[in-house]
Structure 1
Amino acid sequence: MTPRSAPPSALPPRVVRGYALGSVATGAFGTVPGLLLLPYLTDRLGVAAGLAGAIVFLPKAWDVVLNPVAGRISDHTVSPSGPRRPFLLRGGVALALAFAVLFAGPASPQGVSATWVVVAFLACATAYAFFQVPYVAMPAEMTDDYGERTRLMIWRVAVLALAILVSGASAPAIRDAVGPAQGYRVMGLVVAALILVGVLGAWRGTAAAPTRVVPASAGGLAAQLRIVAAAKDFRMLLGTFVLQALATGAMLAGVDYVARHVLGRPGASTVLFVCFVGPALLVTPVWQRVGAVRGKRWGYAAASVLLAAGALALVAARSLPLVLVYLAVAVVGVGYAGAQVFPLAMLPDVAAVDAARSGANRIGVFTGVWTAGETLGLALGPGLYAVVLAVGGYVSSTDSTAVQPDSAVTAIGIGFSVVPAALVAVSLLLLARYRLDEAAVSGAAVPTHEEV
């Protein structure tokens, strides 16, 4: 492959918008299973809460192993369209097809229906790894400008917030409008189509994306993982992000349960989602300015504090006026927006500094480990929430009409508030040890092919 020339600091607007469209796919897949797969298992298929949590977790755990492998494969891929873009199309289309199958299985017998979910979700997780890892790796190769990466992430997170809003609000609404018998199947097809729109948009939109070419590093995957693990700033950033993914995964899994059993309003799940994501669409540019003035780490810490404070306030959701519940969720949304913008803008900094210092391309391995960590957190979130439900004595059913004991309702609230807030608080201890700033990153620009 003939390497492209080093990119200018400012990326073409079409490339920025095209790259951001990939978040339509990642947002939809990251949101809907976390929101509805656990209720689908417990309240449609009648699977016990503990077993349902394991079913949601295990296919995602496979991604923890697969993501670094996908990153290394994309590091060593040679293609006229760039090393990452072929995976956007292949992995993305496979993801859309597998997602359409996920909610289309039989409702009984329970063993068959549960097995269907496990196999289909495993296929989704595999396809997602080969889409997401190359997708996350691209910014470090598209520009070496510290501020430009933040701009790229602002667009990406804005689209991500919109994708979460559309998919998260419409998925339960479609299910409820069609009815439980066919609602999940119809919802699965609609979300699969949405994923496909994002995949094709990102693939076409990044056709003209510049790419800095750094030779793929030598050595096996295990050796490269050891090198990546030795990068302290990466470890601190990853640990922070994983704990927060675990927190948001637990909150996401709890939305449907909170709406029905804590607020007593099944339709409130859509409103909760609007309150969560709507503010993010408005404040994302504000977080960009905060990062420019105070730095990415400071902005990330401030966003995390808001996220934890909003979650903790929801511990009183059962007795609070509904408007205050929605307001607390909106505070969570403001914090969540910043907690997405900053780490996603900091990851390319870490990977690019490593590439500049070593002269070897381990960007795919970095992003593979990162995506594995994010996947683990988002998978453990619903699993952790399911454990809290099981401890509280949650009663599963096939028609969502089971009466829950007070202990289960209390568990629903704690899993949605105290648990996420505590996880975010712990994550801040790791973030405090992250040290890369603009001076360090700018002093270690990614070398071009000719410089290597």
Structure 2
Amino acid sequence: MVTATTVALPRGVRAGYGAGSVATGAFGTVPGLMLLPYLTDELGVAALLAGVIVFAPKAWDVVLNPVAGRISDRSSDPRGPRRPFLLRAGLALAAGFALLFAAPPMPLAAETTWVLLCFLTCATAYAFFQVPYVAMPAEITGSYDERTRLMTWRVATLAFTIMLAGATAPLIRDAVGGRDGYRVMGLVMALLIAAGAVGAYRGTRSAPVGTIEPGPGSLRDQLRVIAGARDFRLLLATFVVQALATGCMLAGVDYLATNVLDSKAASTTLFVCFVGPALLLTGSWSALGARIGKRRGYLGASLVLAVGAALAVLARSAPSGVVFAAVALVGVGYAGCQVFPLAMLPDAAAVDARRTGTSRIGVYTGVWTAGETLGLALGPGLFAVVLALGGYRSSAGGDVAQPDSALTAITLGFSLLPALLVLISLVWLVRYSLDASEVDAS
């Protein structure tokens, strides 16, 4: 079984681990924000087909992530069993991302294929970065509260990266203009991803991680055992449905700014409103969780997020300031909805390790990231379906007047649909039961 310390981690290890969220935040944010508009408004791909292209590589990740977890569970290296994956897969992800928006002039079918293949390459590399990365907290510390503090660093870094990448990506695209704008933006984001991967690799070199004794049996056997872990199932279902809601909102930002708020610059403002509160309040959510428990904190954060998303339905009639305030409220809830589940995941894995005497943390995180990937991938796909139902008109690099039905579809897909999804996710969360006494006993 994994040897994990229960003492407080050095600040450098917390910061080093958090650096990995630079890579995950950039890759998790920019394609969700920019890829669907790139396909529909720059290449001229129909909305439904664009949704399939965005979804398909992430669907591949759903299959690949548990396999990546199994491979990382069985790895060994003097630098630490998970750390080499951070460097190798992180740099491969950066290279693939640099190519994603860099298709040379070709017929539309060839350009579409280029995007699909590059995104598939990125998704594959991301699986082998994200799964070992998420697995590390259960091996770095055995403390219920220390995992929350570790996640606070990770989520704070994630929030900063979302703001940096989400705000600057549209600015870079618009400053350069056209296809070249997308190419330059892709290269800058690739450098950011590479910096995060290298930072996480170097920053965790002194982390107190022991050896791994992987669980017995085949991958199918281990997946069957994990499927029987009640609290993990409930937590996963909650997180996947909320990832679906987040994916819808990310996909809708550019459309809402350009077509409903009638301002491309509003994309950056929306992102600042979304992430700014998360930067300020991540530590506050962590402190609240220490007082009332992670589950209750997660419930509260989810309700705040749902209320903020629902208020955004006023986008077509209210002043822009009201919309920005609603999105800021979403950001307040989003911070907690990242801190708590990511701190609860290693708790569930640690309890399993205590009960069985073996570690399945890689497979646990593989299933977890597969679910997260599925939710974030289905989000843009679901938003694309909403666009198609509303009669959204695609274009090849030009501005096209949208019908009133398309504007309504954009607004609903950004607001009431995500709010409803978050509320549905609470059906599973209220039944989650692990607490500090049971986890610390592991």
Considering the TM-score relative to the shorter chain, is it more than 0.5? yes
Per the alignment, residue 360 of structure 1 pairs with: 358
Mapped partners of 2:96, 2:146: distance in 1: 35
Q: Secondary structure at the match of 1:317?
A: helix
Matches within 5 A, 1:344-383: 344-383=342-381
Unaligned runs of 5+ in 2: none
Per the alignment, residue 141 of structure 2 pairs with: 143
Per the alignment, residue 214 of structure 2 pairs with: 216
Per the alignment, residue 164 of structure 1 pairs with: 162
Mapped partners of 2:408, 2:264: distance in 1: 17
Counterpart amino acid of residue 223 in structure 1:
D
Counterpart amino acid of residue 189 in structure 2:
V
Mapped partners of 2:398, 2:154: distance in 1: 36
Per the alignment, residue 56 of structure 1 pairs with: 54
- Work out whether 1:92 is the aligned partner of 2:105: no
Q: Secondary structure at the match of 1:74?
A: helix
Per the alignment, residue 152 of structure 2 pairs with: 154
- Work out whether 1:23 is the aligned partner of 2:21: yes
CA contact (8 A) 1:98 1:120 kept: yes
Matches within 5 A, 1:195-344: 195-344=193-342
The CA deviation string for residues 415-450 of structure 1, in whole angstroms up to 9 with x for no partner, is 001110010000011001101000110122xxxxxx
Q: Secondary structure at the match of 1:219?
A: coil
Report how far residue 25 of structure 1 moved: 0.2
Report how far residue 16 of structure 1 moved: 0.6
The CA deviation string for residues 255-307 of structure 1, in whole angstroms up to 9 with x for no partner, is 00000111111110000000000010001111011101100000000000011
Per the alignment, residue 36 of structure 1 pairs with: 34
CA contact (8 A) 1:45 1:107 kept: no
Which of residues 112, 119, 126 is equivalent to 1:128? 126
- Work out whether 1:174 is the aligned partner of 2:195: no
Change (3 A) 1:172 1:252: same
Normalised by the length of structure 1, the TM-score is 0.97
Counterpart amino acid of residue 195 in structure 2:
V
The CA deviation string for residues 54-96 of structure 1, in whole angstroms up to 9 with x for no partner, is 0000001000000000000000001111110010011000000
CA contact (8 A) 2:4 2:139 kept: no
Per the alignment, residue 425 of structure 1 pairs with: 423
The CA deviation string for residues 15-59 of structure 1, in whole angstroms up to 9 with x for no partner, is 110000000000000000000000000000000000000000000
Per the alignment, residue 70 of structure 1 pairs with: 68
Report how far residue 181 of structure 1 moved: 2.6
Counterpart amino acid of residue 271 in structure 2:
F
CA contact (8 A) 1:254 1:412 kept: yes
Counterpart amino acid of residue 140 in structure 2:
M
Report how far residue 7 of structure 1 moved: 2.4
Per the alignment, residue 386 of structure 2 pairs with: 388
Mapped partners of 1:101, 1:120: distance in 2: 7
Cα-Cα RMSD? 1.1
Per the alignment, residue 191 of structure 2 pairs with: 193
Mapped partners of 1:140, 1:107: distance in 2: 47
Counterpart amino acid of residue 421 in structure 1:
A
CA contact (8 A) 1:389 1:412 kept: yes
The CA deviation string for residues 403-422 of structure 1, in whole angstroms up to 9 with x for no partner, is 11000110000100111001
Mapped partners of 2:199, 2:398: distance in 1: 38
CA contact (8 A) 1:143 1:212 kept: no
Which of residues 16, 40, 47 is equivalent to 2:45? 47
CA contact (8 A) 2:73 2:212 kept: no
Misfit runs of 4+, over 4 Å: 3-6
Change (3 A) 1:107 1:419: farther
Mapped partners of 2:136, 2:388: distance in 1: 41
Report how far residue 332 of structure 1 moved: 0.2
Counterpart amino acid of residue 67 in structure 2:
V
Mapped partners of 1:431, 1:335: distance in 2: 15
Report how far residue 4 of structure 1 moved: 9.4
CA contact (8 A) 2:81 2:211 kept: no
Report how far residue 106 of structure 1 moved: 2.9
Per the alignment, residue 116 of structure 1 pairs with: 114
Mapped partners of 1:394, 1:90: distance in 2: 40
Normalised by the length of structure 2, the TM-score is 0.99
Counterpart amino acid of residue 28 in structure 1:
A
Unaligned runs of 5+ in 1: 445-452
Per the alignment, residue 449 of structure 1 pairs with: none
Counterpart amino acid of residue 103 in structure 1:
F
Q: Secondary structure at the match of 2:103?
A: coil
- State the aligned residue count: 442
Per the alignment, residue 441 of structure 2 pairs with: 443
Counterpart amino acid of residue 21 in structure 1:
A
Report how far residue 214 of structure 1 moved: 4.3
Counterpart amino acid of residue 284 in structure 1:
T
